[in-house]
Amino acid sequence: MNEKKLCPKNMTREELKGFFSDMGERPFRGVQLFRGMYARGLSSFDEMTDLPAALRRILAETAALFTLTPREVLVSRPDGSRKYLFETADGHLVESVFMRYDYGNVICVSSQAGCRMGCAFCASGLGGLRRGLRSGEMADQLLRARLDTGEDIGRIVVMGVGEPLDNFDELKRFIETVGDAEGLGIGRRNITVSTCGLPPGIERMAEELPQVGLSISLHAPNDRLRDALLPVNKRYNLAVLLKAVRGHIARTGRRATFEYALIAGLNDGAECAAELARRLRGMNCHVNLIPLNRVEETGFCGSGRAETERFRAVLASAGLQVTVRRSLGADIHAACGQLRAKTLSKIGG
């Protein structure tokens, strides 16, 4: 695909109306194109027969309907989840994961090509940050998965490769686009954004995206351990981070989620559990314990079932709401960045 072509998915519905108006066309053509891309899920301009044939030809010559090209799709035998590896128009690799739950289908989307946060246990940042994704590239992950599976997707977690709050403006545009009633109509309460801990971005979320769910990749109960696992903690320590989270809860009235990946012999002991419980006591929050998928490049291993249950029990006995995340897609490298990292290592990227 020619990366210099216009990408309509990077525009909101209102921007598309203005674009067509500037072309000398009636603004409602922008609404028709928006509906065709999102509500109808059409994969080519030729299918948009409500647009005049001459206009469809112009669009085909000057614009690209899809911003991403599927490079690999892996399907999990045990649970049917799907891992997608996409290539952007300028050659970067990003990932998405489609998951089926009892309450509906969920997609985990990436917000950046690579990541500069440098979390020790995560494959996403291997190779560093290439660039932030445009809103259309985020949306295209969902649309490509919907086209591939033939199934609707009602929930989104921005928890794939990249730090979403490091790409806030495009993230906000993406959320506005997929929530538009003329398109997918995915309500903001069905969208969750996961951050490793950027208080300025958390404050912006409370102000500009108050209905969107907030999830914090915590993974440690103290600064000493978190400094080693998540370098961002050296800039924004736990006290600063948790103050921002409490402010978000107070302003939005929404419960926060803390993601905690249990790493064998490192952060899964009873002392860590008790310290974490003290940190979070009294906060309107939920703790999601994650069985860590092994990433060969990091050398970390996930905790066993017994250690996981002991950790959960300590938190529950302290009055915290806590669950153990259902593990999906271990056979297809479903952890953030794993498939991308394997591919980059093969091509020397």
Instruction: For residue 95, indicate whether it is catalytic.
Output: yes
Token pair 């921007």: residue: 15
Amino acid at 113: A
Question: CA 340 to CA 161: how far, in whole Å?
Answer: 9
Catalytic residue from among 7, 108, 115, 336: 336
Q: Among 187, 180, 205, which residue's Cα sits nearest to residue 14? A: 180
Within 10 A of 131 (CB to CB), how many other CB atoms are there?
13
* Token pair in block for residue 197: 């801990």
Of 50, 42, 4, the C-alpha closest to 25 is 50
Annotation says 137 is catalytic = no
CA 288/CA 257 separation, integer angstroms? 7
- Cβ(121)–Cβ(231) below 8 Å: no
| Given the residues 7, 95, 137, 285, the one annotated as active site | 95
Distance CA 103, CA 49 (A): 35
**Long-range contact list for 235-244, CB < 8 A, 24+ apart?**
236/197, 236/198, 236/199, 238/279, 240/199, 241/197, 241/199, 241/216, 242/279, 242/283, 243/199, 244/199, 244/202, 244/203
303 in helix, strand or coil?
coil
Strands 129-132, 256-262: parallel, antiparallel or unpaired by DSSP?
Answer: unpaired
Residue with tokens 């107070």: 250
- Cα separation, 48 vs 40, in Å, equals 9
Active site residues per annotation: 95, 336
